[in-house]
Structure 1
């Protein structure tokens, strides 16, 4: 059990809170690219602070404080124009850097507009996502994670709003023991997950079969500068079913998910709206072939599960529409529909907006939960000591993360998972060097 004052360091994300300071030292996704156009600005709340995101006529995105510097009107009611965003109240206009460029009611030649600039964090667009650096000072290099390099055909992205604290959802990403219990489907739904229905690389059974036949995997964690890597193995007819996946500070999980083998992987990125709500950004990529977006959408978020604005129909108020009659049948189902992401959101919300950690009892199967908390607490201590945020890079030549590997395959009994991870990392370093 972790003491309440310790958990508060990881839960609270305001500007002066320990986790809030940590989150602001990293680039964070704030919106899907598809949400933001040059027709209407989009209001956002991230880490308890209000912003507006928009595009100018050239498609360049901008993110800035939501209230106009003149009389405090909400700029999400404004008008996107070629040079920026115009306030609906008195016509003040701001470019994508937050600089005021026009003040129609003011006399010309006074230079008043030149002295007005709204807070506008830097923005980078990658892999169908808009990222912002919300901290103070010079940002680190935008991380050259492999999963952010691929084009539209190779990448699927979406998001789901969660009515709960970021931590209780993030803790579930690498929690291996829940897979064989929470994610069970009615028979006609079992073939919707394109990759998981195939045999695991090196074996004769698929991942779902292997997980259901061994619900108590062996696991180890290895702490790294960027967070930690988790190694889990399950019994398989040919030896052991190995999964290697990682937590990336401060709020990202990379794991096989919808892509087995080493051909790509899945990413969950949990970004607080405030202490009781957050966005889960979901990304799946494949290196050498296009992803089937329609099938991924069905497998991950189900059919007709999300309302406009990426919010779930299932809420605590309607007991997440759990189908108890369906569960009473002899067939295995959780009564929560098809989507993996919906299952996760429901179960994380079920503990309340902020789960009472004083009531929990952690065991061997919770090693990744413990590792996540410890790695975050260590990162907070390091930035408070004046060190760079762990896992960030500050020189272009240092950017790239070949050591972050995600693997799912059947290996021979007794084979060393770390040797496999090291071999893959060495190949990746060679590829990185060739890529320049």
Structure 2
């Protein structure tokens, strides 16, 4: 069958790469794609929010399945639009995608159905929000209610940081309306874990857990980014913790969405904090995470196309999903200045051929005069597969050191936390 992937980042490169391995898939298209995706799929110059053009292309090329990568088109209703056109598409409808599109909605849902999360208050009035923050004190978490490309969250350890976050979101409007309403949350202490799940109504099939690194610098310092690297598995999180997350959070959330008349069908991303009282929700997303996808999909032993088709047809409960025991590490190479402003068009050299154990997923790249150049903040996701995390980490950083572009920066401690925990256990 022919498949169309909507998007043009590292997550979409990973999706295209995995779907192309399916014996059921004859051809993969990607709109708009990027320079790396163009090596494994046919890129189509259509924007992710141009639903009419995407649907027209799907009809013209007899696309049997469309897979949506980013959140914007999901919140815009691309799934609703395609289904109205009689086209098969993987992802939640607009009303279900709101679990990502509004942090206040997600919080209210969790409160109503007793799903573990931090205490919170939502505000549309700046002065009221400021008064609340001053009353609560720091540390405290400030979140833009709407979509902000993974950058709308500030974990403020001082009152000054909290006030600055409120001002930039609500007064300066740095997130173009996404911060008109803010959610102010209790600070949760612990360690983060991401749990992605295939969901079809009340049917939930969890994936292997991973751990993202949001802050831009080593040791979780600096401003939050869309993610500077990931690894999977998360060996210091025991199976009981993961089982609790599934039983107390993911399954109840899927059931809650059905009860609310917003059945979720697609990928439910649960960003979790593992506290001393168990797992609690930091955030939900309505799609694959980036860069979590880059470490989770290489561990998938089952046919991804089969899972997508079963979900779209309401038959996920018939799927058996299996995983490899390998470990994976993904290191993000970013542009100079990211997550702030950055220059584009810098030539990338030293890119290796992808192998069975090292894949370079392109996130922000373009082709110019036969050269691969930077075109985004997060440029590459260098992913390596090993028998254990130590081997995967070594392979990833060996590859990173061979790739260069002016101003490139990356964290050098992706996976270090897990390796340190493992070493502590052996003492």
TM-score for the superposition, normalised by structure 2: 0.27
Larger Rg: 1
More helix by share: 2
TM-score (ref. length: structure 1): 0.27
Query: Greater relative contact order: 1 or 2 (C-alpha under 8 angstroms, separation 6 or more)?
Result: 1
